Amino acid sequence: EISLGLVGSEMCIRDRSDPEPVVRSEAMHTLALLPQVPDESLPIAVAAMNDDDPVIRNSARFLLGQMGPKAKETAAELKKGIREGSELDRIVSAWALLRVEPTDEYAALALPLMLKALENVNPQVRAEAAHTIGTIGTSSVTVLTALKSAALDPVPEVAAAAKLALTKLK
C-alpha cells in the first residue's frame, strides 16, 4: 500500500506543471486523499496557493488542510486567505487553517465562515462545515441554531454531520 501511494504521488507530482488546470487540481486532490500525504506535496501546494485559477488555489488549500500540522508553515498565508477572494476561497482557507494550526484565535476567525458554509450549495462543503464546527467547540446560540437547521438538511451526510456536531457541543 505504501509503495502504491508513493507511485501515485510521484505521478501526481510530475503532473503539477501540466498546462490544464483540471489535471493540476486533480493531482492535488489525489495527493490529499492518499492515506498519508507525502511531505513532497508541501512545496507544490504552497506554490499553487497563489495560482490565478481559483480551482487550483482551493485544491492547494484542501491539500494543505489534509496535511494538517505538517503544513503549519502555511498558517499565515491561509489566515490571509480568510480575508481575500471569493466566499469559497475564504471558506476553504478557514477550513485548512483550522487543520494546520487549530488555535483559539484561528477558530474565532474561521467560525463565521464555517457557519456561512452550512448554506453552501455543495453538500460536501456543508457536511465538512458542520464537522468542523463540532471540532471548534463553540456552543453559542447562533452556532446551535445553525447546526439544528443543518441537522434537517435533506442530504443524509450533511444532517448526520450536523447531528454529530451538536452531540459534541452539548
Give tens-digit pLDDT for 107-151: 999 999 999 999 999 999 999 999 999 999 888 999 999 999 999
Q: Comparing 18-22, 59-63, 75-79, which segment has the lowest mean pLDDT?
A: 18-22
| Percent of the chain whose predicted confidence (pLDDT) is above 90 | 66
How many whole angstroms separate alpha carbon 76 and alpha carbon 5? Answer: 29
**18, pLDDT greater than 60:** no
Residue where the block lists cell 505521478: 11
How many whole angstroms separate alpha carbon 93 and alpha carbon 129? Answer: 12
Query: pTM of the prediction?
Result: 0.84
Rounded to the nearest integer, the mean pLDDT of the chain is 87
**4, pLDDT greater than 90:** no
- Return contacts of 11-16, CB within 8 angstroms, 24+ apart: 13/38, 13/40, 13/41, 13/44, 16/44, 16/48
Tell me phi and psi for residue 127, to 5 degrees: -65, -45
Burial of 170 (0-12, 13-18, 19+ CB in 10 A): exposed
**9, pLDDT greater than 80:** no
User: What is the rounded average pLDDT of the residues 59-71?
Assistant: 95
How many whole angstroms separate alpha carbon 53 and alpha carbon 36? Answer: 26
pLDDT on residue 13: 45
Residue where the block lists cell 435533506: 154
**15, pLDDT greater than 50:** no
pLDDT on residue 62: 94
pLDDT digits (tens, 9 = 90+) for 79-95: 999 999 899 999 999 99
pLDDT on residue 41: 87
pLDDT on residue 17: 54
pLDDT on residue 168: 93
What is the b/e burial string over 7-28, where b = at least 16 CB atoms within 10 angstroms of the residue's CB?
A: ebbeebbebbeeeeeeebbbbb
pLDDT on residue 3: 25
